[in-house]
């Protein structure tokens, strides 16, 4: 019972930190956000923050990972490479946060983390195909993932005019030529 209470308290504090950070990203540039800003907004102490995260960048990376993990856990269709429509629906619902993150001075951090994450998740799925085509697996995965990230940036830069379903259709059409 005590462990459950501690776990719940830990999750509640972590969520408070996430929410504070999300609020701050909507009003300030990423590089201008300090740990103290996060502490004040989350109403926690410095020690508490550091018991959860070592740095602001660690917080940022973990948020991105959690965001992407939420799609993978519900995915059962092996034919889906990347859950495009689901991701874009979530991006659209949280567009102020996403636009803030992608337009921040550290937007390359989000794309780098997305590259790492999707590369890890997709390598086993595409090893055979890459080897069959005599292409290094890492290059093949890099091509697929960077194409997805580029398409996402394009969509955000164009004010998310297309629906998530349209973006998924575009993704499939683009990928069919290469898979």
Specify the pLDDT at position 86: 83
For 74, other C-beta atoms within 10 Å of its C-beta total: 8
179 vs 120, higher pLDDT: 120
The position carrying tokens 């972590």 is 14
d(CA 172, CA 78): 15
pLDDT one-digit tens code per residue, 30-85: 888 999 999 999 999 999 999 999 999 899 888 888 777 765 655 555 555 677 88
The answer, yes or no, to whether residue 21 has pLDDT greater than 70, is yes
The position carrying tokens 């290059």 is 139
DSSP state of 104: S
Specify the pLDDT at position 35: 96
Residue 14 CB contacts under 8 Å (≥ 6 apart), including other chains:
52
Specify the pLDDT at position 10: 87
- The burial of 46, by beta-carbon neighbours within 10 Å (0-12 exposed, 13-18 middle, 19 or more buried), is given as exposed
Specify the pLDDT at position 120: 85
Q: Helices 35-42 and 2-27, interaxial angle, to 10°?
A: 120
pLDDT one-digit tens code per residue, 91-132: 888 777 777 667 666 677 778 888 888 888 888 888 888 899
Residue 178 CB contacts under 8 Å (≥ 6 apart), including other chains:
143, 144
Both structure tokens of 90: 């979530």
Nearest by Cα to 64 from 112, 103, 28, 113: 113
pLDDT one-digit tens code per residue, 119-178: 888 888 888 888 998 999 999 889 888 988 899 889 988 989 999 999 999 988 888 765
**Which pTM was predicted?**
0.71
Rounded to 5°, the CA angle 94-173-159 comes to 30
H-helix or E-strand spanning residue 19: helix 2-27
């Amino acid at each position: 019972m005590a462990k459950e209470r501690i776990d719940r308290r830990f999750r509640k504090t972590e969520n408070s930190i996430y929410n504070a950070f999300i609020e701050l990203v909507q009003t300030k540039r990423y590089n201008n956000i300090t740990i103290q800003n996060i502490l004040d907004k989350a109403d926690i102490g410095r020690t508490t923050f550091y018991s959860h995260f070592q740095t602001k960048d660690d917080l940022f990376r973990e948020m991105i990972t959690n965001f992407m993990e939420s799609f993978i856990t519900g995915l059962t269709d092996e034919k889906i490479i990347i859950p495009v429509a689901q991701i874009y629906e979530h991006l659209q619902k949280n567009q102020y946060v996403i636009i803030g993150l992608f337009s921040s001075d550290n937007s390359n951090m989000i794309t780098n983390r997305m590259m790492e994450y999707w590369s890890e998740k997709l390598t086993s799925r595409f090893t055979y195909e890459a080897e069959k085509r005599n292409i290094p697996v890492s290059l093949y995965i890099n091509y697929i993932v960077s194409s997805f990230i580029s398409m996402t940036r394009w969509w955000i830069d164009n004010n998310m005019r297309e629906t998530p379903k349209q973006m998924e259709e575009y993704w499939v059409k683009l990928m069919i030529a290469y898979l």
